[in-house]
A = this chain, B = another copy of it.
């Protein structure tokens, strides 16, 4: 086994999905996940600070995408324009995410309070980072918070729809339609 493991992280994530789906989160140890792909416990914790993180590695990419969408926007863009660009950037990265695997992951998260808690924490961090990126562009504090939280709400709601049984629309399309539905709620009344 080579010492340098370029895809160790992805292999650990796949093994975790499979083992936890079969035997539950509590009963699956980090050592066991690592062993399933020929690695050891220490290597696991080099990639994931705690056992829950193996299901959330993708969130760092979402965060980077959303923030890049805000920081890379042309000057003078409105707060909701920034949200639109942030979501478009994130949607692009996830356009090719395998839906079946994402469903398996979400089923595991929904069944385990410790994972649901981590998911909520990650979304809170996401909203905070996007809001900070907006404040750095000079968006007022309140508007930045509301716009960033709205953006994360749209992403979260769109992602849930994308995972639903029988859903065939792409994530980018669902994000755009969810954003339009949210806007319509405000514009109508």
Contact = CB atoms under 8 A, between A and B. Distances in A.
A188 B154 CA distance: 18
Copies of this chain per assembly? 2
| Interface-centre pick from A153, A154, A157 (highest chain B CB count, 10 A) | A153
Given A117-B121, A120-B121, A121-B117, A181 B146 contact: yes
A186 interface: yes
Interface in A160-178: 161, 178
A81 interface: yes
The dominant DSSP class at the A interface is helix
A143 B185 contact: yes
Nearest to A123: B120
Given A117-B117, A150-B153, A187 B185 contact: no
A157 B143 contact: no
Given A145-B157, A146-B153, A157-B145, A186 B187 contact: yes
A145 B182 CA distance: 10
B149 A153 contact: yes
Contacts of A182: 146, 150, 186
Contacts of A57: none
A117 B52 CA distance: 15
Contacts of A187: 186-187
Contacts of A80: 185-186, 188-189
Given A116-B121, A182-B186, 17 more contacts: A78-B188, A78-B189, A79-B185, A80-B186, A117-B120, A117-B121, A120-B124, A142-B178, A142-B181, A143-B185, A146-B154, A147-B185, A149-B157, A150-B185, A153-B153, A183-B186, A186-B186
Interface of A: 78-81, 116-117, 120-121, 124, 142-143, 145-147, 149-150, 153-154, 157, 161, 178, 181-183, 185-189
